[in-house]
Amino acid sequence: MTTIPAAHSAVAPRRRITASRTRRRLAPYLFVLPFVALFLAFSVYPLIYTFRLSFTSWRGVGAAEWVGWDNYTYLLTSPQFWASLGNSAVLWLLIIPIQMVVGVITAVLLNSVMLKGRAIYRIAFIVPFVTPLVAVAQIWVVLFDQNYGAINAALGAVGIPPIGWLTTSEWAKPTLALLFLWKTTGFIVIILLSGLQSIDSSLYEAASIDGASRARQLWSITVPLLRRTIMFAVVLQTLAVFQMFAEPFVVTQGGPYGSTTTAGFYLYNHITRADLGTGAANSFLLVILVMALSLLFVRLLRAKD
Amino acid sequence: MFSSIRNRSGRGVVIVAALGVAALSLSACGPETVAPEGSADADMLQAPTESAPSGEITIWDRSGDLFEVFEGVIAEFNKKYPDITVNHEAVDIDAKLQNTLITGTDVPDGVFLDDAKISSFTDFLWNLTDVLAPYVDDIAPQKVAVNTSDGSIYGVPFDLDPGLLYYNATALEGAGIDATTIETYDDLLDAARAYKEFKPDAGPIHLEKAPFLAQLQLEMYANQLGTSLGDDEGGIRLDGTEYTEVLTFLDTVSREGLGTRAEYLDPTDIGELENGNQVFYPWAIWFSFAPQQLLPETSGDWRAMQLPAWEAGGARGGAMGGSSFVLPKEGANSELAWLFYEFLMFDEAGYSAVWGPNAVYPDGLNTSIPSYLPAADPTNPLFGPVEALGGQDLWAEATTAGAEIPAAGPIPTWWIGAVDYLGNNMQRMLDGDMTPEDVQTQSTEEIQTNLIDRQ
């Protein structure tokens, strides 16, 4: 029989406890380590690298020459930069209010138990969102052609002269906004629908008993209780509108006369010309703008709460 | 409790600081922020000296008809170089090339690239002056010029795209107009006026609405006059009288209602070509694709002739667009890729396989001609007559026009960026909002400020 020395037997459990505590302390860090590593590699590092790049005139090769604030001052005094922000702002005004109103009404209709075949409608609404943009864009170009498009043909039948939907500065933005609305409203409807389903149905029953009309219920119950979801959708779509690139790229190439050159498209122009320093500075200005807008919406939401 | 919060917040600060330090350290080891070493000679590609070179090469081409054509040539290449394996890849070059070259990852050995983009990448490319030396005197001067930067050649010239005047012979004959008598742009204006009188709804001459293509077409007209947007030093020379002449012509077409403003082969353009309203199309040879594929109503009615001259007896050739092959310095087997392109462009078996009858083009590739002059012999056609052009010998017409193309300046790095200014201002002129002189003055200033000064 082996005899364990008294001193050793007292230390061993203490060591085990210490090791166990250390493991417990380290465990959370080990669990988050993969995320932190990926976050550092793919978010923090590119962000800091881009920030540094924004103070250089680097074109992808050779030494990165430090130019101080030059890229920022160039952009902030460039009419094209402000025009691109203006275009995005106008698109925001054309898209977001309409999308939220249409989205809420559609979601309420799709949520109604009286609507037959709800599943089919829900799928139908999400189809544009999953359709490849390039295919949609080609259809858009054909539909909205000034001389041979179906839209002008239909308008011509009721005596309206042809409109340069994609070829005039006045109409290109609304046409692009329409494409964006058609493509993404289904996605917003799904988000709002999930918000609607979390509203307690007893509230509607009580309102009904009290004699509230459907419109009154919508305005006094649905909209207030859906406010957080709506605000989430607004923030999401604000980001999407200010980063909008693919739509103008495939439909108008930013034209005519730069009228559909969005903030995202303008940024792309710097990158493709290997003007990486200016592109990086442009990215940061956009990040600041979008963060400011998002904070503004969050503040508005809190103020209402 | 408060000390616990303080401790936690202190730990958070430490963690954030550690992350920041780590990220800064990472950002400090970013890619290529120091000047690459090497002399001019180190950048000069040399041909392999082995008798039977071997290895693998990766070649990027854009997807579509040309990819299929080049794919078909690989078997011919392997008859001459059986030990070289060609990995031929269809790639969105515009989207991938820049990032690939900057990061130096998976860099191909050879890339098909628009001539207008070559100057933007010269820092990443082999200088081909030495390997092209045996051929350079036999290459169209315009193609050598557009592949040259600071006196060195960076691309193996592929096609020559001479501008031609396409015209609807049937429609014009119906109006009693003989297009073959057109020799100058004044003659073209007169013919357009006559056609407009015959058919008042017509806009006989195509006016391009897409800013990029409008600028490309402007360069074709300017090339006829022996000039180009960029000079040999990378500066802008848009203020020359040649550009005034060209812009005034376009302005006249617009003001007199002699033009159809449409984007190249968009629904409006096709509709106006098919209904006989648009009967003159001064464009690169590659417009031949339209009567063959997109204009069923008028296919067979179209013909091609040399561009009119700006003055009687002047050059009737001007280049519009074109592509070449570039060899990145980071490619693993660039010297083998050179052998591939040398075969394609300068070996009779190679260029015959490219432009001659093949699986994609049974009558041959008739949307361009070779830039290698021995291959572009008017009497020795590589592609056959084009039925959609009434059986016309397009080869003879195009090679004759190609031989008249004057050399111009190299294409500067800022050329594509200039579209935002010059391309758009040209459209404003066609809208009647600017004069030709306004276009020249304003575009020059904008290009200088926003592009040239910021290089």
Tell me: the pLDDT tens digits for A210-258?
Answer: 888 888 988 889 988 998 899 889 999 999 999 899 999 989 989 899 9
According to the model, what pLDDT value does residue A126 have?
A: 87
Where residue A305 falls among pLDDT bands split at 50, 70, 90? low
According to the model, what pLDDT value does residue A14 have?
A: 75
Do residues B379 and B417 make contact, with C-beta atoms less than 8 angstroms apart?
Answer: no
pLDDT tens by residue, chain B, 455 residues:
334 444 444 555 455 455 455 544 444 444 443 333 444 578 999 999 888 899 999 999 998 889 999 999 999 999 999 999 999 999 999 889 998 998 899 999 999 999 989 988 999 999 999 999 999 999 999 999 999 988 899 999 999 999 999 999 999 999 999 999 999 999 999 999 999 999 999 999 999 999 999 999 999 999 999 999 998 888 999 999 999 999 999 999 999 999 999 999 999 999 999 999 999 999 999 999 999 999 999 999 999 999 999 999 999 999 999 999 999 999 999 999 999 999 999 999 999 999 999 888 889 999 999 999 999 999 999 999 999 999 999 999 999 999 999 887 788 989 999 999 999 999 999 999 999 999 999 999 999 999 999 88
Q: Alpha carbon B414 to chain centroid distance?
A: 15
Say which of A63, A148, A256 has its CB closest to residue B268: A148
According to the model, what pLDDT value does residue B392 have?
A: 96
Question: Which residues on A lie below 8 Å from B35 (Cβ)?
Answer: 62-63
Question: Which residues on B lie below 8 Å from A64 (Cβ)?
Answer: 33
A174 burial level (CB within 10 Å; 0-12, 13-18, 19+): middle
Calpha distance B166→B304 (Å, rounded): 4
Q: Does A27 reach chain B within 8 Å, measured CB to CB?
A: no
Question: Which residues on B lie below 8 Å from A80 (Cβ)?
Answer: 420, 450
According to the model, what pLDDT value does residue B17 have?
A: 52
According to the model, what pLDDT value does residue A299 have?
A: 84
Calpha distance A174→A90 (Å, rounded): 9
According to the model, what pLDDT value does residue A193 have?
A: 92
- pTM exceeds 0.90 for this model: no
Do residues B204 and B279 make contact, with C-beta atoms less than 8 angstroms apart?
Answer: yes
Calpha distance B85→B78 (Å, rounded): 8
Percent of chain A's residues with pLDDT above 70: 95
Question: Which residues on A lie below 8 Å from B454 (Cβ)?
Answer: 57, 74, 275, 278
According to the model, what pLDDT value does residue A6 have?
A: 52
Q: Which residue has the higher pLDDT, A201 or B41?
A: A201
| CB–CB contacts below 8 A, A to B | 92
Percent of chain A's residues with pLDDT above 90: 51
* pLDDT above 50 for A129: yes
Do residues B357 and B364 make contact, with C-beta atoms less than 8 angstroms apart?
Answer: yes
Q: Alpha carbon B344 to chain centroid distance?
A: 19
Calpha distance B378→B398 (Å, rounded): 8
Q: End-to-end distance of chain A based on CA atoms, in angstroms?
A: 74
Where residue A8 falls among pLDDT bands split at 50, 70, 90? low
Interface of B with A (CB under 8 A): 19, 22-24, 26-27, 30, 32-36, 94, 98, 101-102, 120, 123-124, 209-212, 266-268, 270-272, 414, 416-417, 420, 424, 427-428, 450, 454-455
Q: Does A35 reach chain B within 8 Å, measured CB to CB?
A: no
Segment A35-58 shows an average pLDDT of 93
Q: What ipTM was estimated for this complex? A: 0.75
